[in-house]
Amino acid sequence: MNPILVEATRGGIVESAHRGALAIVDADGAAVCTIGDTARPVFARSAVKVLQALPLVTSGAADAFALTDEELALACASHNGQARHVAVAASVLAKAGLDESALECGVQWPSHEVAQREWAESRRPLGALHNNCSGKHAGFLCVGCLMARAQGREPREFVRGYVRADHPVMREVSAALQAATGCDLARAPAGTDGCSIPTYGIALAQLALAFARVATGVGLSPERARAAARLRAAVARAPFFVAGSGRFDTKVMQRLGERVFCKVGAEGVFCAALPEQGLGVAIKIDDGNTARAAEVAMAAAIEALVRLSDDERAFVRGLSDVTLKNWNGIETGALRATAALRDALPAHS
Amino acid sequence: MNPILVEATRGGIVESAHRGALAIVDADGAAVCTIGDTARPVFARSAVKVLQALPLVTSGAADAFALTDEELALACASHNGQARHVAVAASVLAKAGLDESALECGVQWPSHEVAQREWAESRRPLGALHNNCSGKHAGFLCVGCLMARAQGREPREFVRGYVRADHPVMREVSAALQAATGCDLARAPAGTDGCSIPTYGIALAQLALAFARVATGVGLSPERARAAARLRAAVARAPFFVAGSGRFDTKVMQRLGERVFCKVGAEGVFCAALPEQGLGVAIKIDDGNTARAAEVAMAAAIEALVRLSDDERAFVRGLSDVTLKNWNGIETGALRATAALRDALPAHS
């Protein structure tokens, strides 16, 4: 039974509570903190997009297509589908000689209010470019186009079906994921993600290890280590493109820069790489609540682990102990990391 | 520790799980089924709107303003803010000689895709009429206007601040809630709801009792019993107005008519009155997930309790065992009532 990590209060009592597990691991695989069951396979979902984007750099595609920081950040993103996200995804595809029709991620109604309002005002038809995964898929397509060139194949033909586990592009993506996590994906639970690529059940301890490797490069091949560092730097320079307006990942990386690389996933999964500490963090909320529970737990972990100024600490505390207000702006309660979580996290050194 | 009532699967394993509690009670207060902790106070939120709407009928306001079934259904609603909902809320206010500016529920961005799209296409400014509670508040204002008339007061002046616990309108609303649930609200945990009125912490067993009373009239004053029957009938005739396109409550009552009166609330609360069985049902999901967990659990309860044709049973099963598909329409998993829940529910008689 995992402990309660996050609770929502109203009128002085707990209204709802979120159980979950959390792993903090160093690049040697040593557990720095284990809360709840961190051995159970958890579908990593979008939390591992930075691992899935490693082949974009290691293949040479990022250089061949002269991708910018914004474009690399979008390849690691679960973006809002705001106009700037859509434009940058289209730009990546254009550099590879493709367009929106090559995307196999499906058309998604924007999940966040700001994007819904932007879309409503743009009166542009909703397309696959709006899908929160369009940047990741555009990155996959760049890898595929480069492979096609190398083999003298017609790129559009070659990339078709790139979302399938047995496609050459997806084999590269899975190889990077397997190398970083140390998880044997052939034996892992396998499912289909929201954007139609495979997603694998991986222990939180392995996910945290992968992010410690992303943080340090230790345990990765030199090419993958350099690629991870480049992607982290790109996201730190263009954090709007990894999520968007009002989003946790964007706010945290806008404020803390390269000290934190964090990436949210569906169903309450959240991973982070902390380069200064050489640590990786992986969280899963049992009930799948990402937007309030996994984010609050991650904020508490960042608060405990990362060196912060007083102002930065107050900023992060505002994400781990959130005042809830209603439609009239009246305070109704709070969303906060529990004492059980805070006490189990390592004390700040 | 409450048991797992609902789980989401992917790739053949459980990805996320929702714990919760459920009470089924008859109009004498006898527990027919108790799952988990049904004594703990739970903020009832919007699940009790039908109880909060009783004064609209008992005060004579529904007759004085000649409210239609659609208008009465909207008074019990958490509606989508679709164009027809907004129009009917405006109509109620106009009958009472008021307009949108009298509403104190705040302006809410529509929560559901269909309403977001409708709003985007209408290009109408978003206002308090779009708030999912605008029909309930319009009903409160009708009660207030009638009180003002009786006291020879200026209605607009009299109704100001109607959301406060000590306003004459809200006292009537609380009295109805207290009489139906048997909960002493003066001693109950009190919070502020999303629409700024008070919400109280009430045991699930008491909420279920209130809905058994709504189902049967037993245990209510004759006026409240008639009012409850009238509100149930109005919702059964106009179920679009209690929720809206694509919503669980609307779908269930469109299909099953007066055999089920169900009403969702925020933070995983769900109540239902089953007139043929003379039972009330109340559910709370620990983690506050309404849209998938409380609905699936309620569907399982309806399936177990209500007499259904084979077609109806298949329809309800489609709500308690839901196939999940991604943006490309590919099946990714299921959302389903657990065996623990199904086995604990009463066997169909």
pLDDT digits (tens, 9 = 90+) for B164-182: 999 999 999 999 999 999 9
CA A323 – CA B127 distance, rounded (Å) = 24
CA B225 – CA B236 distance, rounded (Å) = 17
User: Residue B287 and residue A18: Cβ atoms within 8 Å?
Assistant: yes
- The β-bridge relationship of strands B279-285 and B321-325 is unpaired
Chain A contact probe: residue of B328, B331, B338 with most A CBs at under 10 A: B328
CA torsion sign for B90, B291, B334, B271 is negative
B16: nearest CB among A8, A193, A288: A288
Closest CA to A104 of B334, B326, B332: B326
Question: Is A333 a residue whose pLDDT tops 70?
Answer: yes
A119 vs A68, higher pLDDT: A68
Mention every residue, 6+ apart, whose C-beta is less than 8 A from residue B160.
none
Cα distances from B268 to residues A17, B22, B334, in angstroms, run: 11, 11, 19
Instruction: List chain B residues with CB under 8 Å of A326.
Output: 106, 192-196
B327: nearest CB among A108, A285, A330: A108
Res. A349 pLDDT band, cuts 50 70 90: low
| A3 to chain B: closest CA residue | B1
Closest CA to A243 of A305, A198, A206, A295: A295
Task: Name the DSSP class of A19.
Answer: E
Looking at residue B349, what is its pLDDT? 54
Question: Is A167 a residue whose pLDDT tops 90?
Answer: yes
Chain A closest-CA separation from residue B331 CA (Å): 8
Question: Is A18 a residue whose pLDDT tops 60?
Answer: yes
Q: Which residues pair with A25 in a beta bridge?
A: A31, A280
Q: How many CB atoms lie within 10 A of CB A328?
A: 18
Looking at residue B108, what is its pLDDT? 86
Instruction: List chain A residues with CB under 8 Å of B106.
Output: 326-329
User: Residue B328 and residue A196: Cβ atoms within 8 Å?
Assistant: yes
Task: Return the structure tokens found at A172.
Answer: 């590269």
Q: How many CB atoms lie within 10 A of CB A314?
A: 10
Provide the number of CB pairs (under 8 Å) joining chain A to chain B: 144
User: Residue A106 and residue B328: Cβ atoms within 8 Å?
Assistant: yes
Any long-range contacts for A310-313 (C-beta under 8 Å, 24+ apart)?
A312/A255, A312/A256
Closest CA to B67 of B56, B54, B76: B56
SS3 A266: coil
Please give, one letter per residue, the 3-state secondary structure of chain B: CCCEEEEEEECCEEEEEEEEEEEEEECCCCEEEEECCCCCEEECHHHHHHHHCHHHHHCCHHHHCCCCHHHHHHHCCCCCCCHHHHHHHHHHHHHCCCCHHHCCCCCCCCCCHHHHHHHHHHCCCCCHHHCCCHHHHHHHHHHHHHHHHHHCCCHHHHHCCCCCCCCHHHHHHHHHHHHHHCCCCCCCCEEECCCCCEEEEEEHHHHHHHHHHHHHCCCCCHHHHHHHHHHHHHHHHCHHHHCCCCCHHHHHHHHHHHHCEEEEECCCEEEEEECCCCEEEEEEECCCCHHHHHHHHHHHHHHHHCCCCHHHHHHHHHHHEEEEECCCCCEEEEEEECHHHHHHCCCCC
CA B242 – CA A110 distance, rounded (Å) = 25
Chain B contact probe: residue of A4, A5, A10 with most B CBs at under 10 A: A10
B327: nearest CB among A105, A327, A329: A105
- Detail the DSSP E strand segments found in chain A: 4-10, 13-26, 31-35, 41-43, 190-192, 198-203, 261-265, 269-274, 279-285, 321-325, 331-337
Torsion of CA B103, B105, B111, B116, to 10 degrees: 30
Question: Is A348 a residue whose pLDDT tops 70?
Answer: no
User: Residue A332 and residue B193: Cβ atoms within 8 Å?
Assistant: yes
SS3 A260: coil
Res. A121 pLDDT band, cuts 50 70 90: confident
Q: Are B80 and B115 a contacting pair, CB within 8 Å?
A: yes
CA B283 – CA B270 distance, rounded (Å) = 5
User: Residue A333 and residue B109: Cβ atoms within 8 Å?
Assistant: no
- pLDDT tens, chain B, 349 aa long: 999 999 999 999 999 999 999 999 999 999 999 999 999 999 999 999 999 999 999 999 999 999 999 999 999 999 999 999 999 999 999 999 999 999 999 998 887 788 887 777 776 788 999 999 999 999 999 999 999 999 999 999 999 999 999 999 999 999 999 999 999 999 999 999 999 999 999 999 999 999 999 999 999 999 999 999 999 999 999 999 999 999 999 999 999 999 999 999 999 999 999 999 999 999 999 999 998 999 999 999 999 999 999 999 999 999 999 999 998 899 999 999 999 999 999 986 5
| B103 to chain A: closest CA residue | A328
Average pLDDT in the A39-67 region? Answer: 98
Chain B closest-CA separation from residue A221 CA (Å): 30
Chain B closest-CA separation from residue A287 CA (Å): 5
A11: nearest CB among B10, B190, B333: B190
User: Residue A107 and residue B18: Cβ atoms within 8 Å?
Assistant: no
B286: nearest CB among A17, A108, A190: A17
* Residue A243 parent element (H or E): none
